[in-house]
Amino acid sequence: MITLLLGGARSGKSAIAERLATEGAGGGPVTYMATGRATDTDMAARIARHRERRPTGWVTVEASGRDLPPALRSATGMVLLDALGTWLVAFEEDFAADPKVLCDALRDRDGDTVVVSEEVGLGVHPSTAAGRRFRDALGELNQAVAAIADGVLLIVAGRVLSLEQR
């Protein structure tokens, strides 16, 4: 089963994803696939907060860029992938990640997956060309993952809305 959680910054999506992964694992192991890199002190602090929140028995795998799909395929049991936006950033300015490669890896893996992604299409219109390319690439990636997901949840202010497929 693939569950996609979408939300804005500080919406509570990662904490809710952690809860879903814990519940879904049923006491079994959870692999936390971390896609973010500590590029500055703010990002380092965010990563540290996420690490402190995770149960000690979880295994953390740092996977960015082209390393993520094979890492997903090789992981067994419950996986929490956090997050698609930081994964996309690893593809530098063109954000040329291949959604099909990621979706194939998500579908092919053995075990359930909770995927976290930023919903950037509801925010302010980006003022730079790079910002618009990122917003568009992430929006397309989110749509591709949502198309294969068994469930899609939108997180707003710590509240969960289930999004129905039409």
| Candidates 37, 46, 50, 73; catalytic one | 50
Token pair of 16 as six digits: 């809710």
Please say whether the beta carbons of 46 and 37 come within 8 A: no
Token pair of 4 as six digits: 């996609």
Please say whether the beta carbons of 162 and 153 come within 8 A: yes
The helix/strand/coil state of 98 is coil
125 in active site: no
Evaluate the CA torsion angle 30, 35, 41, 46 in order and state its sign.
negative
CB neighbour burial string for 26-54, b if at least 16 within 10 angstroms, e if fewer: eeeebbbbbbbeeeeeeeeebbeebeeeb
Question: What residues are labeled active site?
Answer: 50
